[in-house]
Structure 1
Amino acid sequence: MIKVLITGANGFIGKNLIERLHREKDLIIKKYNSRDDLSLLHEHLSDSDVIYHLAGVNRPLDNQEFIKTNIGLTEEIINYLKKINRKPKIIFSSSIQAEYENPYGASKNAAEEILKKYSVESGQEVYIYRLPNVFGKWCKPNYNSVVATFCHNISHDIDISIHDANKKLELIYIDDVVESFTDCLYRENKEEQYYCPLTQTFTIKLGELVKRLYEIRDMRKTLIIPNLSDKLTKFLYATYLSYLDHSNFSYELPTYKDERGSLFELIKSHQMGQIFISKSGKGVMRGNHYHNTKVEKFCVLKGEANIKFRKIDCDEIITYFVTDKKIEVVDIPPGYTHSIENLSDEEMIVLFWANEIFDSTKSDTFYLNVQI
């Protein structure tokens, strides 16, 4: 059983790390926060095998807080470990700011030096992560993360402003951080190497970041899903949704009605096309058109139907009977005029997928009856 102490357990990284570690076997997780009494810290230090030292401040009202917390708490941990002759593995959450001469960076650098000295004296492993801007769920907005602030404000219709759209940001996603931290539980450092490489980071200009977040927000109107094959966009999308107000998880879709029934679009994608759903009354027939390049898929979710095809240069009619009793997908190849007719006595619901977003100026849709 590995006993793990996490300082700064209530913080952004701490909460996400605890969630991840709960999925590991044979761990006992102990928590400490900077406002807790030092006696609790000492109690946890007395039998911890691994310490994740995440506690720290980066936006105090007084710069002395940098010294008190970032340096002072680190000294307190090391001095007590020496006193009780305890040598746990330590994983430290530092910052790329440690490379710069500002009060926050200087305090992180000083904490790093304390830990490295402890490693030399004790022979115990110390892992230091100099993290760039970390983003993801549960990060506090209007504090120290521009992504958190922008996601919160944009999702709550609060105006944002940027002073330099070309400023570059280096970002790292919270799940990548906690996975790397978790790996450290079982890693053995055979070399005198303190600084750990980061699995993946992302560089983006501030203006581009804002553009992507507004595109994500506007998806509710455009229905266009962002390119989720791009990892940064995928992570930004997940992060943005985590900042939605509890009363704002759902949104209404426009529904188009005529004598046949109704239709509404669900999702659109420049990479994957679009999904839409129709409701059709008894005896209603849709389609009687063909496409030259566009392809589609039909899936009857409720009811039963005949889907008919005819290659546009021949007379043979092909019929597929489909029903909600056996869910299946019917491919619609190009060059075949096709139709779908509701055979049930009640409303029929059909899900459609097309490989491109509908454009009325070049729809690649040409009307031709299946029946000659």
Structure 2
Amino acid sequence: MIKIGITGQKGFVGSHLYNTLGLNPEEFERIDFHKEYFDNAETLDHFVQQCDVIVHLAAMNRNPDPELIYHNNVDLVKKLVNSLERTGSKAHLIFSSSSQEERDNRYGASKKEGRRLLAEWANKNDGVFSGLIIPNVFGPFGLANYNSFIATFCHQLTHGESPVIDVDGEVKLIYVGELVQEIINQIKSGKTAEEYIVPFTTYIKVSEVLAKLVHYKELYFEGGEIPVLTTQFDYQLFNTFRSYFDIAAHYPVKFKQNIDPRGAFVEIIRLGIGGQCSYSTTVPGITRGNHFHTRKIERFAVIKGKALIQLRKIDSDKILNFYLDGNEPAYVDMPVWYTHNIKNIGDEELLTVFWINEPFNADDADTYFVEV
């Protein structure tokens, strides 16, 4: 069992790493960290003493005062180094630096200096240190106007705003899930890598990214249609886009019913991709689900009976409740990293149609059971 602490545990990359490590409780034990620990040497020391691995992600990357960014980030590293020395820690230290190290800005300079200080500690104390130089990171739940231009574009397109491209350059990107796997690989290696350049996985123009997102808005956000997704980047970008919906306001989405003397015809889903479609009957009082996915795209469509669909982001206590009635057929799509269930709250049998973008594979189910 490897005991891992993450500074910046609640940040964009930190929360993804923390949640992913939680999928393997037999291999990793997560040591909780709170930003207040940096303000109390005794508390910080107690944290450091518990860890076999410390992933230092805590940093400031946006502020009107560039010097504040520099001094904040370097001071955090110095506090961590002081704690490592006070406690005689032999933890494997993993540091998230940036491809901006060589740019003429104070954020990049702070990252370069932080990496130097931690490498110096490791060399002096026979420690293990991984200095990761990371390209632009994107993925679900990043903060608009802070973590990435993709986060900003996604938020704007789902909240009635119009994105503007400042510089249409080509950018090197890595999906947050891919970065998390790189960090886990470093954890498992247990070897020093003072300057490890994390490879980017996508190289694309900003305008191409925006064109894809505008397409997702028109087809999916406004029309409920799953677009054609041909590459791994397309799936990553689409799931990123979906995470910026105001879920409580967007769902449930009512279907258009085409009614004539024979009855009604309802289109459940229009696809640019394949997948698996199925249905279930559920007797009154029974709940199905209570699981989440990290990559799958899934739709629950209620066409008969009364249902309560519940969603909860796995690192949140907030539960979203959606009440659906087959008299007005509607659907709810399941965001990644949200555990979800469906319960028959009526007096008759509930009929639900399910669609998911990939057939079930027991060897790679991407299904993790957690109560809503």
TM range (shorter): 0.5 to 0.7
What SS does the corresponding residue of 1:46 show, helix, strand or coil?
A: helix
Asked if residue 239 in structure 1 is aligned to residue 240 in structure 2, the reply is yes
**Deviation (angstroms), 1:266:** 3.1
8 Å Cα contact 1:3-1:30 kept in structure 2? no
User: 2:141 maps to which residue?
Assistant: 138
Give the root-mean-square deviation of aligned CA atoms: 3.0
User: 1:204 maps to which residue?
Assistant: 204
TM-score, structure 2 normalization: 0.67
User: 2:20 maps to which residue?
Assistant: 20
What SS does the corresponding residue of 2:194 show, helix, strand or coil?
A: coil
- Structure 2 vs 1, CA of residues 141 and 34 (structure 1 numbering), >3 Å: closer, same or farther? farther
8 Å Cα contact 1:127-1:194 kept in structure 2? yes
**Deviation (angstroms), 1:274:** 12
**Deviation (angstroms), 1:115:** 1.6
User: 1:217 maps to which residue?
Assistant: 217
Q: In 1, distance between residues paired with 2:51 and 2:272?
A: 51
Q: In 1, distance between residues paired with 2:218 and 2:153?
A: 14
Asked if residue 48 in structure 1 is aligned to residue 51 in structure 2, the reply is yes
- Structure 2 vs 1, CA of residues 247 and 271 (structure 1 numbering), >3 Å: closer, same or farther? closer
- Structure 2 vs 1, CA of residues 15 and 203 (structure 1 numbering), >3 Å: closer, same or farther? same
What SS does the corresponding residue of 1:76 show, helix, strand or coil?
A: helix
Q: 42, 64, 69: which is aligned to 2:67?
A: 64
Amino acid at match of 1:157: G
Amino acid at match of 1:179: Q
**What do the CA deviations read for 1:304-327 (whole angstroms, capped 9, x no partner)?**
xxxxxxxxxxxxxxxxxxxxxxxx
User: 1:86 maps to which residue?
Assistant: 89
Number of equivalences: 280
Q: Map of 1:1-372 to 2, 5 A cutoff? A: 1-24=1-24, 25=26, 26-33=28-35, 36-39=38-41, 40-164=43-167, 166-189=168-191, 193-198=193-198, 201-220=201-220, 221-245=222-246, 246-270=248-272, 272=274
8 Å Cα contact 2:134-2:197 kept in structure 1? no
**Deviation (angstroms), 1:224:** 3.8
8 Å Cα contact 2:145-2:151 kept in structure 1? yes
- Structure 2 vs 1, CA of residues 237 and 206 (structure 1 numbering), >3 Å: closer, same or farther? same
8 Å Cα contact 2:137-2:148 kept in structure 1? yes
**What do the CA deviations read for 1:180-230 (whole angstroms, capped 9, x no partner)?**
2123222132xx632335365212211111111121122245554223331
**What do the CA deviations read for 1:215-268 (whole angstroms, capped 9, x no partner)?**
112224555422333111111111111111121133233333333333233333
8 Å Cα contact 2:18-2:30 kept in structure 1? no
What SS does the corresponding residue of 2:80 show, helix, strand or coil?
A: helix
**Deviation (angstroms), 1:46:** 2.8
**Deviation (angstroms), 1:125:** 1.6
**Deviation (angstroms), 1:271:** 5.3
8 Å Cα contact 2:141-2:243 kept in structure 1? yes
- Structure 2 vs 1, CA of residues 8 and 223 (structure 1 numbering), >3 Å: closer, same or farther? closer
8 Å Cα contact 2:21-2:30 kept in structure 1? no
Amino acid at match of 1:58: N
- Equivalent pairs: percent with the same residue? 30
Gaps in structure 1 of 5+ consecutive residues: 278-300, 303-348, 354-372
**What do the CA deviations read for 1:274-298 (whole angstroms, capped 9, x no partner)?**
99x9xxxxxxxxxxxxxxxxxxxxx
8 Å Cα contact 1:225-1:269 kept in structure 2? yes
The higher radius of gyration belongs to 1
Q: In 2, distance between residues paired with 1:43 and 1:238?
A: 38
Amino acid at match of 1:9: Q
8 Å Cα contact 1:92-1:128 kept in structure 2? yes
User: 1:361 maps to which residue?
Assistant: none
TM-score, structure 1 normalization: 0.67
Amino acid at match of 2:161: I
Amino acid at match of 1:198: V
What SS does the corresponding residue of 2:215 show, helix, strand or coil?
A: helix
Amino acid at match of 1:32: H
